[in-house]
Structures are given as structure tokens and as C-alpha cells.
Chain A
């Protein structure tokens, strides 16, 4: 097999680049576009026959093999010119505990995001990047209905009012709660406006520093908001992931951080005329985003080769500096900077802290369901959040849910795809939470078709809950980007948006620019790179 394919591998000319990037995930693609725009020669390769790597969208039938690939290691390639130290690379699988259930009709018509549930804020940096780089020409977005999420609270789903109009129309808040909630919004808006005016503004409009350092949840309690509304603001608008009500919270959100997210949220609402809500989702799935950036890079002269794994690193003698990569085709490519997909395992790096403490790694449990009826009538694309402890006492983190419809060309008409995720410390609790959430949202599968008739009448009571046709639950490891002799980009994280991923990509870019352009890292911003296009 290796021999057959070896013939198929193209020979790459030239053999030396400024930057070689392996893997076409979103961070790698953004970096490729940035480097190409900065006038660097870029070779961008991917072992897969498609773009996106860990950020791709795959057809449903390919999902099992994507989540559990054949453990075939990278074929060893005969070493050629050995003027370099060769370090062999291995691929690692970041997915585990995969459980697939049911059978989807016409599976080829479903496209599955590997990063789901995920959306973009209209005012997101990712959107700005797309606009600046010209990537926006290659991808189309649709608005998430109404913008606001549904909050799961005491067994019911409630819309989270996220704007003046939404507060006005909300039927579950009483009048006084409405006043308090809008007052809070107004306060935050005034604070943001005052802070925008060169930090000075009207001091009276600003929230005091003392309050800004307070945990956000305490600040909200000070405003006499009832628990349900606090949960709505904290988990559905300020997007906190971990339980904020415990003393030993891993990530206790301060008022400052909470307000920052609310500011992003509110400035997102109404940014685009055809997107009423704060969030948008890319047509055909998230896999379109890395592709869009790759196209930008290609336009600027980056060279693209798919189906091209890297088998080894080329290092200097002290194994300190990476000089290039050996491709599976056997060809050696030299470069000043190498960027690797996080699915590559580098023995020299992983050696000190390998395997044993994998439990300390951050993880995210994900679920994907196919249903034939929307969770909420009149809405096709919507977000749901299960705040911590809403399902069971042990639930320590929020569970985020995104429902997509055929409008987005990710599934056939009449079908809906639902993504769930929750950060977790160990795999079993994470999976447990996802399953609980699935049970809460959907009716148990009519597993026995014989029972169907008998239960028809009793089912009518519960007829509002859609039934699951197909589902998949798995756990993914999360890795941060690293910078050493070569650079490595982050895996998809547990968050609902790309902010954190882009932040760490930016750091990677800074390191690289420092190296390539010999300018202080702090002085270069990615937007400057794109603005010279």
C-alpha cells in the first residue's frame, strides 16, 4: 500500500520555504493566510484528503473513521540525505469513548462539525479576520434565531432576554424583574460607552473598580435579580462555563470579564442587517472557515498539498532548532518555521510528561444528535444552555446546545442536527452530563416499533419532545498551542466561539513574526498583516 501511494505523492518544488504548515485546521489556516499576506513563501500540507483537520466538517458516514482512525502509523520512509537529525513523528487520536447509536436516513446528506456546538459573534474577531483577509467572500453565514438562548431551568426551557425588546416581550419575567434586568443592561451599556471614550467618559456612568473586581455573580446578586435571571445572564449571555456558585470554582468570572462578554454580545446584535441576533453560523458547516482562509493564502501564493502527511522532523544536531520536515513521500522540505497540527505527536517534546498524567488534560465531552422536529416551534437555529446543577447535583459545568436546520445545508430538509458540549475533568462525568441533557431535551427513542401503536395516545402528552434518530457521544482532549523549536496550534476548545483559539493563534503568530521579521512580537498585530493585502 505504501508503495502504491508513494507513487501518487507529488514532488514539491521548490524544496525550501519560509514557512511550512502541516494541518489545515482553523488556526493553521489563519496563520497560512497571514504569512502569505506578509509576503512569506508558504507550504501548507494536510495528511487528509480534505481541508480543516480537527476543525473540519465531515460527511456523516466518515465520522466513525474520523473519530477512531486506523492505528496505522505513518509509514516509515527511507531516509535520504541524513545531514539532519531526523525525529520520527506519530499521529495521536484526541478522541475517545466514542459511542454511536441509531441510523440516519440518507447519511451522506448530513455534514458533521468536529468543533460543534460552535457559533460566531457578529462582532467576533474571527468575523473581522474574515472581512479583512477577504475570506468572507468564500463563506456565507446565517443568523441564529432571535439571538437569545434558551435557558434550561427547573425542567423547562425559558428564553433568555438579551435586549430591551426581548425583556419587553418576555412573558416569564414579572414587571419588577424586567426593570432590574434592563437597568443592569443599561448600566453595563453606559459603562461600556464611558469606557470606550478613551477610558475617561462620565465617571458616573462607570461601574466602580471595586464592583468590577467582584465575582460577576455577586454583582448580579447585588442588583436583586432572581436566581433564574442570574443564571440566564451568567451562563447564556456572559457565557460562563463553570459553576459560579461554589467557592472553589475553577474559573470564577469577575464583573469585568462578564461585562466584556456582554459588550461583545450587545455590539454583535444588529451588526449585520440580516442577522437579528448576536450569533451567526457558517453555511455548510464550520469546515468552511479554515477553507476560506486557505483560499486567501492560496491567492497570496501559498502552495497547497493535501493527502500529504509529515513523517519526521528535521532538526539540527542538538535537536534544538527545527530545520524542516520530511514528508511521507520521502521528500525533505527545509523551512525557517514549522507549524504542526496538534494531532502530531512529537516524541522529544512529549517524552517528559507523556501519558501518565493525561487525566490532568482538559477535556470536552461532545454529543451530536439527529432529530426530525425542532426543539422549539418556529425556531430552526437555536442555542440552549443547561446551567451547572440544572440536571443533577454533580453537574459542575454548563452544557451548551446548538440546533441546526437544513437552512444551513448541513442536513436534509425536515431534519435537525443538535450539538452538545460540556467541559469535563474526567471522561465518564462528561459523557454522563451530555447523556442527561439529551434525555432532558428529547423523548426516549421508540426503540421497539411494536410498542409504537400502544403508546401513541400516551405519547401525545409528551409530543412536544422530539425523538432522537441518531446520536453520537464522545470525549475530546484539549491542547493549547505551544511554541518551541516548532510551533503547534491549539485543538478546538470547550467554548462556544473561537475567541480563545484565535487568541492563542495570535500568540503563535507573534512568536513567529518575531522570528521571521525580527521585530518585537508585541508590536505586530495580525490585522496589520492583513491590512497590507
Chain B
């Protein structure tokens, strides 16, 4: 059934085939006719059986049978008669399954029948049918689905089903369905704390032992690796969602102006916050896993400042059904204040049932942090964009005094992990790493990938102080494996490159010493100093660990191989971004940037926008432009101005949501189109510098 090469279909006797088709068509017409006229006679039902016998995929015929069944069973009162009707129906399904054991319609019909609960279910018959089917094809997921349904329906204890998965794995461990069912059953049993399943540690140790037996027997079989991946996820991710970073961080001092004299080496420097000029303070919360349910009651704010409107939290990186790692709100300061004054803002997230992760766990590690806002009403108005921002990567940037650009240790919120637990987890991971290092199959991509994942899971546990040296060591080894994988398995090259980029960023930003080499405070004449991070020329393909960059105001990602800017949406302080000389292939790939409210300078030059006729990012990115009402309005406006909406729809949506002052886009295929410039001018009225020339 599996692992066999597909053979070309045998040339069938054409006459026989067309005769069969004619017969099928005839049957189909008759069944449909009966369906429309609601004819539920024995003969009519018999016809539908004939059809399904040949073609179990005729879904309408199944529906017709359901209606007929309901119609006929209504008139019956004798339990024996009902039983025989149900039996007949079950038999029809069996006949159909013999024709095609993977017929959705047939399986669903059986479930539907059982759910009618007209007669007691003959569990021997049902499980017998399944045994027969799974003997023929042990991986038939329809069968496994039905088995799960049946087990729930009949109240078969999970323990027994777990034993069954073991039997099937014993027969042939190359069985995705059996491993998968095992993971589901184990999760249930562990949540319910069933007898014998009280200790997660014991169970997972045993499961690791079991699956490694399969992995070592045949490292080239994928199914075991999938199960191993699930196990790895179980021990490397915390059970509960946690806040891992915030902007502003605890103790931060935000200021609307910047006065040099105020800075002192020993005191916390105030951070110039561009948005304060517009009396807006963004707060960004970054969680270790996607959560939802942030609102005014689940995140409490305390301050003498008055904030206008309702405080509305929104997800920055939108994933499916509203879960997101990163949440933000914009506080509108409503106070009238004449002199310079400091206000503190307290943010606290108590244990909350509102905030839940995808797995359904509640947030229960309370966090509290405070920052201050300095409002200076009479500050001189600094125009940042007097001159175009020059990205000069060859010259080392002038750093500002002795001052460190950012109080690092305050950036991190290290939530208290339960030490004992994580020790056990770390031991398991190390054990697995040692194991797979010994696995003699040195060129298996699964081994390398799993090793890389294990190493990274270990690295993630080393999060402070001296252990960061170990973290980097783990990262280095993982990087080696990922580089090997790029050569070993070129068809998944992009995935490995993205992983590598993420690890590389982890390595560069996990400790202050290394990170400082990439950080500086940028001082432009006549301007405020800006926190600047330079990550150019590193072959990055994507952005990782964005939670460590949330304070960055100027980011240089030029001369990489960036394909996606997902993650940058967390950088709400970002004013200037340079992603020139990368591999951005469309405006849809830049969608995350539209969420950065105060982005003013964007260098997109020398990318691949417009070079690819098919925009693949729409399939890759988790959040492409969605069709909103505003979009339609924007399109209408453009249409009025004779802009070709069909051609530029993504450009329109992108530029529409940005208030850029400076844009560089030369060196892209799209920039050479004749009316592109007009389009940009039209869409970004605030633009001052376009491709280096003053336009406003």
C-alpha cells in the first residue's frame, strides 16, 4: 500500500470502460431523480446501492440514503425491523468500503448511522471491520479516524487504545497514523492524570526509549521522527504561556525630547520616543507562544496620566483565529500638561483566565513592570528628516559618548521557570543529543535536523549569566548541522536557511557583549540620538528573536538574503529601516511593516519586488494582506486617479498604511515601471525624499 512505486494504469478495454461509464451515468440520473422526487421505495433505494457499489464517492447518493433512511425508519416501531434496516445500511457501507477503503462519504455515513443511536452498536462488528481494514493498510487514516470516533462513542478507555497503537507499531513501526494516535491518547491520559499516567517524566522517558528503538533501527523512516518531534515539543516548551519581553521595559524612561546635558553615565538615560510628540505611547507585550484574550481587564494599567478612549489591545503578528505572540496598544495621553513632568505607568498582568494559549492553558505567571514618561511641552521641534538619512555601512557609526545605548538587563523579563522540571527536561535533551551523535547514519537529514532541534531546545534553556556561553556553543553546533542540511537536502533549503538565520540572530543577540558589537547610538547632526542596530551582510533570510530588538529605532538589515520581514512588526519604536540588497520579492512580503506606526525611513533598494510574476509570499507568509473595507476605499480612490489597481494593488495597500518621509526603492523591477513614481507620490503625500531626491 505504501512505499511502492505507482504503476501506470493498465490500458482498459475502451468498450468496457465506456459501457461502465454509461451505466454509471444512467444510475446517477435515476438516483438524482429519486432524490428530487423524494421517492424512497425499496427499488429506488436499491438503485442508490447499485451506484454506491460501483462508485462510493457519489456523495449525493449517500445523502439520499440518509433521507430515505430517516423517512423509512420513522414508520417503523418494531425494534427488530429497525435493527434490520440499520443492518442493511451498515452492510451498504461495508460494500462501498470494499470498493474504496478511503471513501470519505462511506465512512461518514457509518458515523452518521451510529450517531442515530437507533440500535445498540455491535462493537465486535465495528472493531472487526476496522481490524480487517487496518490489516490491509495499517496507515489508512480514515480507519484510524473512525477508530477514534468509535472509541469515544463506545467509551473505550484511552489506555486500551494506547495498547492498540503499540500493537500496530509492533507490526510495523512505519505507521504515521499509529504514532499520531499515540500522541493524542497520551496527551489525553496525561491531562486527565489517569492511573499510571501521573508522572509526565516517566511516560516521556518511556516514549523516548520506544521511539529511539525505531529511529535507530531505520533512521531513514520518517514516521518515528515525527513522533520524536512531538515528544521534543512536549519537553522543550513550557506548559503555560509566559511574557518574555515588553516595550517599554521595566524602569524605562521615555522622553519626548532629547537634551544632551541630562545624560549621565550612572543614571538611566532617557529614551527619546518619537511617538510622544503625538502624545502616543505604544506598549508591546511579547509572549513565548501565541496567546489571545488580552484586554483592559487582563492587562491592568495604573498611572496618573489619563488615557483617552478605551484601551484596545491588538495582535501584531496575526496568526490563525486571533492567537499572537506579540500584542500592542497605543496609549493616547489625554492630560494637559504645561511643564516638564514625569509620570509613571504601571503595567501588571495577573493570572488570567482570559489569556489562553493555543493548547488552552491559562496565563498564570503574574508580571508587573513600571516605566516613566517625561512630557516636555516646550521642547524644540527637531526635524529628523531635514536631510535624507544616509546608510553608510562602510564607516563605523559614531557612538554617543560612553553611554550604553540601552539598559540591557532590564530588557529581559525572566519568568521563573520551575527549576526542577527544567533540569529534568535538560537532562532528557542532553541524553537525546548524546544518543543521536552516536547514531552511525551520519548522512541522514532526519538525524541532523533532529540534532539541530535538540541543540536549540537546549540552548533555549540557557538564558542567563554564564550559561550563555553554553548557549552559544549549542547554537554553533546547530548552525553546523543546518549548514550541512542545506547541502544535503536542497529541496528544503529555504527552511534550513530560515532556521539558520534565526539561530544566528540568537547567537548575536543573546548576550550583551556580542550584541553590543552590532549596536550603537546613531547621531545625525541636528538630530536626536537613535538606537541603532546593524545586522548587515550576515546572509540572514528572515528575522528571529524580534523580542530582543523592540527598543531599536534604526535597523540596518542590508546585504542579507532577507525574504520575509515577519517579526519586525514587534519593533514599534522603529523609525528607519534599511533592507536594501536583499531578496524581498513583493510588497505582500513587507506587510508586517505596515503595522509599525512611526516608520519614517525605508530603504528597499535592490530587492526583487516586481521581478517575479507569481507572488509566492502569499502562500508562505502567515498574514498576507487581508481584504478589508479600507482596502476597497483605497482602491476606489486610486481608480479615480487613473492608477491601475489591478497591477498595483499590493503596492497601494502597502504604501497606503505607511506615513513615510523617505523611500528608496531603486534597483527593483517595479521601480522602473513608468507610472510607479506617480503612484508613490499619490499614495504617500508625506514623502520628502524619494530615491535620494527631494520631492516635497
Contact = CB atoms under 8 A, between A and B. Distances in A.
Contacts of B218: 164, 168, 182, 186
Which of B214, B435, B439 counts the most A-chain CB atoms under 10 A from its CB? B214
A183 B216 contact: no
A169 B216 CA distance: 11
B441 A179 contact: yes
Given A165-B171, A167-B217, 13 more contacts: A168-B170, A168-B213, A168-B214, A168-B218, A169-B170, A175-B216, A175-B438, A178-B217, A179-B216, A179-B219, A179-B441, A182-B217, A182-B218
B258 to A, nearest CB: 62
Given A183-B440, A183-B441, A178 B216 contact: yes
Contacts of A164: 173, 217-218
Contacts of A167: 217
A165 B170 contact: yes
A470 interface: no
Contact of B173 (A168, A176, A224): A168
A158 interface: no
A176 B217 CA distance: 8
A153 interface: no
B173 A175 contact: no
Shortest 8 CB-CB contacts between residues of A and residues of B:
A175-B216, A168-B217, A167-B217, A178-B216, A178-B217, A179-B216, A182-B217, A179-B440
A164 B219 CA distance: 11
Contacts of B438: 175-176
B212 A175 contact: yes
A344 interface: no
Interface in B431-445: 435, 438-441
Nearest to A165: B172
A176 B214 contact: no
Contact of B213 (A178, A180, A186, A224): A178
Interface in B60-90: none
Interface of B: 170-173, 212-214, 216-219, 435, 438-441
A179 B213 contact: no
Contacts of B170: 165, 168-169
Nearest to B220: A186
Contacts of A183: 440-441
B219 A175 contact: no
Contacts of A180: 440
Contacts of A165: 170-173
A164 B439 CA distance: 17
A176 B434 CA distance: 12
B133 to A, nearest CB: 15
5 contacts: A164-B173, A168-B218, A169-B213, A176-B439, A179-B219
A175 B435 CA distance: 9
Interface string A151-175: 0000000000000110111000001
A176 B440 CA distance: 7
A179 B214 CA distance: 9
B441 A175 contact: no
A445 B618 CA distance: 80
Contacts of A182: 217-218
A167 to B, nearest CB: 5
A169 B171 CA distance: 9
Contacts of B173: 164-165, 168
B301 to A, nearest CB: 55
A180 B218 CA distance: 10
Contacts of A224: 440
Contacts of B212: 175
Nearest to B174: A164
B433 to A, nearest CB: 14
A175 B439 CA distance: 8
Interface in A162-207: 164-165, 167-169, 175-176, 178-180, 182-183, 186
A165 B440 CA distance: 19
A12 B214 CA distance: 66
A48 B173 CA distance: 53
B171 A179 contact: no
Given A182-B218, A183-B440, A183-B441, A175 B172 contact: no
Which of A169, A179, A180 counts the most B-chain CB atoms under 10 A from its CB? A179
Contacts of B439: 175-176, 179
Contacts of B440: 176, 179-180, 183, 224
B132 to A, nearest CB: 12
A172 to B, nearest CB: 12
B434 to A, nearest CB: 11
A176 to B, nearest CB: 6
Nearest to A168: B217
A179 B215 CA distance: 8
A178 B214 CA distance: 9
A186 B218 CA distance: 9
Contacts of A179: 216-217, 219, 439-441
Given A183-B440, A183-B441, A176 B216 contact: yes
Contacts of B216: 175-176, 178-179
A179 B220 CA distance: 10
Contacts of B441: 179, 183
Nearest to B169: A168
Contacts of B171: 165
A180 B442 CA distance: 12
Contacts of A186: 218
A183 B212 CA distance: 16
Contacts of A168: 170, 173, 213-214, 217-218
Contacts of B219: 179
Contacts of B172: 165
Contacts of B435: 175
B582 to A, nearest CB: 39
A179 B212 CA distance: 11
A178 B209 CA distance: 14
Contacts of A176: 216, 438-440
A173 to B, nearest CB: 9
A182 B438 CA distance: 16
A179 B171 CA distance: 19
A370 B173 CA distance: 38
Contacts of B214: 168
A176 B173 CA distance: 18
Which of B170, B173, B218 counts the most A-chain CB atoms under 10 A from its CB? B218
A165 B170 CA distance: 7
A177 to B, nearest CB: 9
B24 to A, nearest CB: 32
Nearest to A169: B170
Which of B172, B217, B439, B441 counts the most A-chain CB atoms under 10 A from its CB? B217
A183 B444 CA distance: 12
B175 to A, nearest CB: 11
A168 to B, nearest CB: 5
A166 to B, nearest CB: 9
Nearest to B209: A175
Nearest to B219: A179
Interface string A504-522: 0000000000000000000
Nearest to B173: A168
A163 B216 CA distance: 14
